[in-house]
């Protein structure tokens, strides 16, 4: 007998070399090599500040000389740091000296512009840009996050530090600094830099946009979109640069904050100018952009958690846009459609969180129906417009049926069975809608307004409960029997609490007699059918 062919053996792969273990840092090395250097650097910066303040108060030397001395001293310290690091070994003292010199240079620029008015803010921005560029180059060459933090943070804050007007020049300078921060973030893989850049640049962006309200709207909206894109590149670019299966807090927080910035500020700008439809469209387009970015990212290199976050943000913005644009049953239909789409996508992608999101949107549709379109009070006093209320209830019921079908393949890890939950809601909607119709149809009784619909409502609940009980017995469906008994119990509570107190004598008597007869029939049917099924 011929032997089956065997698969060729694969050559064993060589194990990756283990990263060299870091030598433990002793307390003596920590104090002598690092703490002394950084404390010394902080002392130098404070000394520069104290020197400028004291020289001002005592009038020792004129203002230009003070600034020149601080500039020369800071530049000399930076040169010494470069020499020590490049020629004498990469020590913490050299890093501390470089960071100190950069901070001192920014302090000197602040003094020259805001304190003494020696140079124009535009020239101060130029010098700040040179300092920031030098700091960025040093940080990248040395792989020093602290130097990068001081240099780029100083560049981002330069318009504020030099007291520049919030005009086009200051905004362009900050944009260049932001681009540099994103490039360094992706190059050196420093995710914290994106969050820090967002925190420092957004307030300045908002101030500039607030001052542009009187002009054309396209310019602030275009600038807003450009800054949003930079933040997205920072977050998603890092995920592509350093792939992982987990959800990083830095990327997630940056994407969420960026979504709020894009949708919220854009909507506010358009809404304040009276463009309500355009403001809603802006939010809807923002939602579409996030979904469009998240769907292809699901199969890409980045974490599926980040892709799921993008889709979730997009769907949430879509819900907000629907709430802004629509009302009544149309809004209910929009949220219901989102729930169905999310449940369908969850089944296709194999991610149960889509069903959780679908449940949220279905809850929004149900809550809007019960709070706005067809509140429970309509069982006593009919709604002003029955048709929209009936449509909203019907949408909720049909959506529950569809979701129950889509969710049956879900392996839910909790005791909550979503398909039964949806079927329960669908059944409740099927009872609620005829109840609203009874109250709306018979409330105009000229003889006794409000009496006849309540009697008929009690009878309808009792008859429906009895029919459900019999059907549950015949089909041996326990959940159906329990639901029918609950409806019969609701009818009993209504008759004994509401009908007894609110209805006139004849209607009260009819209500009690009808309920009693139906309950007796239910008890007889229950015992008879159960006995036959057991025998």
Task: Give pLDDT tens digits for 324-383.
Answer: 888 889 989 989 988 888 888 777 767 777 788 888 899 999 999 999 999 998 888 888
Q: 10 Å Cβ neighbour count for 431?
A: 17
In this structure, what token pair is assigned to residue 458? 């009690």
- Which of 237-241, 296-300, 415-419, 515-519 is modeled with the greatest confidence? 237-241
User: Which of 59-68, 74-83, 174-183 bottoms out in mean pLDDT, i.e. has the lowest?
Assistant: 59-68
pLDDT at 54 over 70: no
The tens digit of pLDDT for each residue in 246-279 reads: 778 888 888 889 999 999 999 998 988 888 889 9
pLDDT at 45: 55
Proportion of the chain above pLDDT 70, given as a percent? 79
Q: How many CA atoms lie within 13 A of 393 on its CB side?
A: 24
The tens digit of pLDDT for each residue in 303-330 reads: 777 888 888 888 888 888 888 888 889 9
- Which of 85-94, 187-196, 283-292 is modeled with the greatest confidence? 283-292
How many angstroms from the chain centroid is the CA of residue 361? 15
The tens digit of pLDDT for each residue in 441-474 reads: 886 544 445 688 888 888 898 888 888 888 887 8
In this structure, what token pair is assigned to residue 217? 């709207």
| Band of residue 429 on the pLDDT scale cut at 50, 70, 90 | very high
pLDDT at 224: 92
pLDDT at 43: 60
* Cβ atoms 273, 233 nearer than 8 A: no
Q: 10 Å Cβ neighbour count for 1?
A: 3
pLDDT at 33 over 70: no
In terms of phi and psi (left: phi > 0; alpha: psi -120 to 50; beta: otherwise), the region of 51 is: alpha
The Cα–Cα gap between 366 and 362 comes to 6
pLDDT at 412 over 80: no
The Cα–Cα gap between 101 and 526 comes to 90
Q: 10 Å Cβ neighbour count for 509?
A: 13
In this structure, what token pair is assigned to residue 378? 């309509």
In this structure, what token pair is assigned to residue 351? 């991610």
pLDDT at 369: 93
What 8-state DSSP symbol labels residue 376? G
pLDDT at 4: 45
pLDDT at 9: 45
Which residues lie below 8 Å from residue 272, measured CB to CB, with a gap of 6+? 213
pLDDT at 489 over 60: yes
């Amino acid at each position: 007998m011929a032997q089956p062919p065997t698969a060729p053996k694969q050559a064993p792969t060589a194990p990756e070399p283990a990263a060299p273990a870091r030598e433990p840092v002793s307390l003596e090395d920590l104090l002598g090599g690092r703490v002394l250097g950084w404390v010394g650097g902080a002392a130098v910066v404070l000394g520069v500040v104290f020197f400028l303040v004291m020289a001002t108060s005592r009038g020792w030397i004129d203002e230009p000389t003070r600034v020149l001395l601080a500039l020369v001293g800071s530049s000399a310290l930076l040169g010494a740091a470069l020499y020590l690091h490049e020629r004498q070994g990469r020590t913490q003292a050299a890093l501390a000296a470089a960071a100190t010199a950069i901070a001192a240079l920014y302090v000197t620029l602040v003094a020259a512009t805001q304190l003494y008015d020696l140079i124009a803010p535009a020239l101060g921005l130029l010098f700040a840009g040179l300092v920031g560029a030098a700091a960025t180059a040093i940080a990248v060459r040395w792989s020093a996050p602290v130097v990068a933090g001081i240099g780029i943070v100083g560049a981002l804050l330069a318009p504020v530090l030099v007291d520049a007007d919030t005009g086009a020049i200051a905004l362009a300078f900050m944009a260049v600094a932001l681009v540099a921060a994103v490039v360094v973030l992706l190059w050196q893989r420093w995710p914290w830099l994106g969050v820090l850049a967002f925190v420092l640049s957004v307030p300045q962006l908002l101030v500039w946009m607030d001052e542009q309200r009187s002009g054309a709207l396209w310019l602030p909206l275009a600038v807003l979109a450009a800054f949003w894109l930079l933040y997205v590149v920072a977050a998603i670019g890092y995920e592509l640069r350093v792939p992982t299966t987990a959800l990083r807090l830095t990327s997630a927080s940056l994407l969420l904050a960026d979504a709020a910035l894009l949708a919220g500020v854009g909507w506010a700008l358009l809404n304040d100018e009276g463009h309500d439809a355009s403001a809603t469209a802006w939010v809807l387009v923002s939602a579409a952009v996030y979904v469009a970015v998240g769907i292809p990212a699901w199969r890409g290199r980045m974490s599926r958690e980040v892709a799921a976050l993008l889709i979730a943000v997009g769907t949430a913005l879509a819900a907000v846009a629907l709430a802004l644009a629509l009302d009544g049953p149309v809004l209910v239909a929009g949220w219901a459609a989102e729930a169905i789409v999310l449940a369908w996508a969850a089944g296709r992608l194999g991610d149960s969180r889509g069903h959780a999101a679908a449940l949220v949107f279905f809850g929004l549709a149900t809550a809007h129906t019960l709070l706005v379109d067809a509140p429970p009070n309509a069982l006593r006093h009919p709604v002003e417009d029955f048709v929209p209320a009936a449509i909203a209830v019907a949408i909720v019921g049909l959506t529950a049926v569809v979701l129950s079908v889509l969710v049956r393949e879900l392996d839910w890890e909790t005791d909550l069975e979503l398909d039964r939950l949806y079927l329960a809601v669908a059944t409740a909607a099927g009872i609620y809608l005829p109840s609203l119709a009874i109250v709306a149809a018979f409330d105009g009784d000229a003889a006794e307004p409000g009496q006849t619909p309540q009697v008929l409502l009690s009878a309808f609940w009792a008859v429906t409960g009895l029919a459900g009980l019999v059907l549950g017995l015949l089909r041996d469906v326990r959940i159906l029997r329990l639901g029918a008994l609950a409806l019969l119990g609701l009818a009993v509570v209504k008759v004994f609490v509401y009908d007894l107190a609110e209805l006139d004598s004849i209607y009260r008597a009819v209500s009690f007699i009808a309920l009693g007869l139906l309950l007796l029939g239910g008890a007889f049917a229950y015992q008879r059918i159960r006995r036959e099924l057991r025998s």
